[in-house]
């Protein structure tokens, strides 16, 4: 969409004008001396490791941006992230941190309160269970968005997220997803060469994320079920989607990108080889092996596992009629892709770069992982259409600190 099609407005003005009624009231200036109409105000939802990192990446890579608001379910996470940002040593970061007490929001509705402020851009880095609901609200509030991967944990969530992505497009909101390899030069240049025919027609692919268990926390006796599920979120299916969704999505995304398509079919297996049946280890499996089929008949063999003291391997590889590639070997890296994705977002918002909305690609990569998990858990071959249209919604409708959220049964194929 060019400036004429937007009625002579910049993309930023257009996005604001097309946002919900009453937005003009919410964009009143804070009165800070350094404020000007081009300063982008950022709000972070999900103040953990990646959220804090993403904010620093954004501040490092861009001029005239500042972090002004934080939202998290837990107050201790806000306090520690705020302190880390405010005490940052870098002269490129510190002046861009301007967080007031009344711009810090805690609780299950913290995201709603942050969306009512005048932030222009939301960085979303909660665990993925919350993504579809929060991103729908962020788009309705007319915010530009950076959202971490994966974008959901179930087909219902993917469908909700896709609807929000399309609405963001209609409103001209910039929308960048945290699949940083898509902003990494070596991948971009190599995959362009593959698309140009360098290795011939792609006949098969391999994608691996074989790594160790990321984290697992003991329960503090003071925590209710919900607090424990959210603090130990990497261990429950409804909060993280299992390791294939939470982590392996990065590698599946690369192969979808190379193939210019999502798989049409999958057959898979997996299990839980070493984890004791304890609450802290949740209900996840610890290994998946999937055979995905693409529309042209090519197959991708995918392996993902969380095993300690084992051979780790994280890579992608494609084989064509004229050669092989690891999807990075025909390009040259420069810079940090985790900074570049924020530079690309801000350029899109300001109209100094191409308009970006990468939501559908990441929704498809998330769905690819979910489809593999569904095939493995059930032991059945699944088509894309069956998987994405499945009536499967794992995230509880009501989240309440006082309610019980028992750990689900560990999936057993055929049951």
Ligand X SMILES: NC(=O)c1ccc[n+]([C@@H]2O[C@H](COP(=O)([O-])OP(=O)(O)OC[C@H]3O[C@@H](n4cnc5c(N)ncnc54)[C@H](O)[C@@H]3O)[C@@H](O)[C@H]2O)c1
415 token code pair:
């049951």
Task: Select the residue interacting with ligand X from 62, 117, 174, 180 (CB under 6 A).
Answer: 180
Closest contact distance (angstroms) between CB of 347 and ligand X is 19
Q: Which segment (31-39, 46-54, 55-63, 279-287) binds ligand X by CB under 6 A? A: 46-54
Closest contact distance (angstroms) between CB of 110 and ligand X is 5
Task: Select the residue interacting with ligand X from 12, 82, 103, 111 (CB under 6 A).
Answer: 111
Closest contact distance (angstroms) between CB of 251 and ligand X is 12
| Residue 110 touches ligand X, criterion: CB under 6 A | yes
Q: Name which of 298 and 367 has its Cβ closer to ligand X.
A: 367
Task: Select the residue interacting with ligand X from 41, 82, 143, 149 (CB under 6 A).
Answer: 149
| Residue 157 touches ligand X, criterion: CB under 6 A | no
| Residue 126 touches ligand X, criterion: CB under 6 A | yes
Question: For every residue of 277-294, which 3-state class applies, written as one string?
Answer: CCHHHCCCCCEEEEEEEC
Do 271 and 414 form a contact (C-beta atoms < 8 A)?
no
Task: Select the residue interacting with ligand X from 15, 40, 44, 45 (CB under 6 A).
Answer: 45
CA angle 208, 181, 282 (to 5 degrees): 50
The single residue listed with the structure tokens 């005048």 is 118
Do 346 and 62 form a contact (C-beta atoms < 8 A)?
yes
Task: Select the residue interacting with ligand X from 19, 58, 59, 73 (CB under 6 A).
Answer: 73
Q: Name which of 176 and 330 has its Cβ closer to ligand X.
A: 176
| Residue 241 touches ligand X, criterion: CB under 6 A | no
For residue 399, what are the contacts with CB-CB under 8 A and spacing of at least 6? 108, 226
Closest contact distance (angstroms) between CB of 119 and ligand X is 15
Closest contact distance (angstroms) between CB of 314 and ligand X is 11
Q: Name which of 46 and 61 has its Cβ closer to ligand X.
A: 46
Q: Give the x-and-dash track for 51-70 against ligand X (CB under 6 A).
A: x-------------------
Closest contact distance (angstroms) between CB of 8 and ligand X is 37
| Residue 230 touches ligand X, criterion: CB under 6 A | yes
Q: Name which of 202 and 207 has its Cβ closer to ligand X.
A: 207
Task: Select the residue interacting with ligand X from 43, 128, 132, 142 (CB under 6 A).
Answer: 128
| Residue 50 touches ligand X, criterion: CB under 6 A | yes
Q: Name which of 72 and 154 has its Cβ closer to ligand X.
A: 72
Closest contact distance (angstroms) between CB of 290 and ligand X is 19
Task: Select the residue interacting with ligand X from 42, 47, 371, 394 (CB under 6 A).
Answer: 47
| Residue 48 touches ligand X, criterion: CB under 6 A | yes
Closest contact distance (angstroms) between CB of 61 and ligand X is 15
Task: Select the residue interacting with ligand X from 59, 71, 97, 135 (CB under 6 A).
Answer: 71
| Residue 127 touches ligand X, criterion: CB under 6 A | yes
Question: For every residue of the chain, which 3-state class applies, written as one string?
Answer: CCCCCCCCCCHHHHHHHCCCCCHHHHCCCCCCCCCCCCCEEEEEECCCHHHHHHHHHHHHHCCCEEEEEEEECCHHHHHHHHHHHHCCCCCCCHHHECCCHHHEEECCCHHHHHHCCCCCEEEECCCHHHHHHHHHHHHHCCCEEEECCCCCCCHHHHHHHHHHHHHHHHHCCCEEECCHHHHCHHHHHHHHHHHCCCCCCEEEEEEEEEECCCCCCCCCCCCCHHHHHHHCHHHCHHHHCCHHHHCCHHHHHHHHHHHCCCCCEEEEEEECCCCCCCHHHCCCCCEEEEEEECCCCCEEEEEEEECCCCCCEEEEEEEECCEEECCCCCCCCCCCHHHHHHHHHHHHHHCCCCCCECHHHHHHHHHHHHHHHHHHHHCCCEEHHHHHCCCCCCCCCCCCCCCCCCCCCCCCCCC
318 token code pair:
């494609």
Q: Name which of 76 and 381 has its Cβ closer to ligand X.
A: 76
| Residue 211 touches ligand X, criterion: CB under 6 A | no
Do 104 and 78 form a contact (C-beta atoms < 8 A)?
yes
Closest contact distance (angstroms) between CB of 71 and ligand X is 6
| Residue 182 touches ligand X, criterion: CB under 6 A | no
The contact set with ligand X (CB under 6 A) reads 45-51, 71-74, 77, 110-111, 125-128, 130, 148-149, 178, 180, 230, 246
């Amino acid at each position: 969409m060019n400036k004429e099609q937007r009625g002579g407005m910049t993309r930023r003005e257009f996005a604001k004008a097309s946002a919900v009624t009453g937005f003009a009231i919410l964009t009143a200036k804070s009165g800070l001396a350094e404020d000007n109409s081009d300063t982008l105000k950022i709000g972070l939802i999900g103040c953990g490791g990646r959220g804090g990192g993403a904010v620093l990446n954004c501040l490092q890579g861009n001029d005239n941006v500042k972090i002004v608001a934080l939202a998290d379910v837990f107050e201790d996470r806000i306090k520690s992230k705020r302190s880390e940002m405010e005490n940052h040593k870098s002269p490129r970061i510190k002046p861009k941190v301007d967080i007031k007490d009344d711009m810090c929001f805690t609780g299950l509705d913290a995201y709603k309160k942050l969306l009512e402020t005048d932030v222009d851009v939301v960085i979303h880095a909660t665990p993925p269970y919350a993504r579809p609901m929060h991103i729908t609200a962020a788009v309705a509030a007319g915010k530009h968005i950076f959202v971490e991967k994966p974008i959901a944990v179930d087909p219902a969530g993917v469908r909700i997220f896709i609807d929000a992505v399309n609405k963001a497009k209609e409103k001209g909101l910039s929308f960048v997803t945290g699949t940083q390899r898509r902003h990494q030069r070596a991948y971009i240049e190599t995959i362009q060469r593959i698309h140009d025919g360098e290795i011939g027609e792609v006949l098969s692919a391999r994608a691996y994320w074989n790594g160790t268990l990321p984290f697992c926390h003991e329960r503090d006796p003071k925590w209710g079920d919900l607090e424990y599920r959210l603090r130990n979120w990497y261990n429950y299916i409804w909060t993280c989607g299992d390791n294939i969704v939470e982590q392996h999505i990065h590698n599946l995304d690369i192969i979808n990108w190379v193939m210019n398509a999502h798989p049409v079919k999958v057959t898979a297996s997996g299990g839980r080889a070493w984890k004791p049946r304890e609450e802290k280890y949740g209900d996840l499996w610890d290994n998946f092996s999937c055979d995905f089929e693409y529309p042209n008949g090519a197959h991708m063999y995918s392996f993902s596992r969380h095993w300690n003291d084992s051979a780790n391997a994280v890579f992608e590889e494609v084989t064509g009629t004229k050669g092989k590639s690891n999807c990075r070997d025909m390009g040259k890296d420069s810079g940090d892709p985790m900074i570049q994705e924020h530079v690309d977002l801000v350029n899109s918002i300001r109209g100094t770069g191409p308009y970006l909305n990468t939501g559908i690609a990441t929704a498809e990569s998330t769905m690819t992982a979910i489809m593999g998990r569904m095939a493995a858990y059930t032991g059945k071959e699944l088509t894309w259409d069956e998987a994405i249209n499945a009536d499967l919604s794992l995230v509880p409708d009501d989240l309440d600190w006082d309610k019980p959220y028992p750990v689900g049964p560990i999936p057993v194929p055929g049951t």
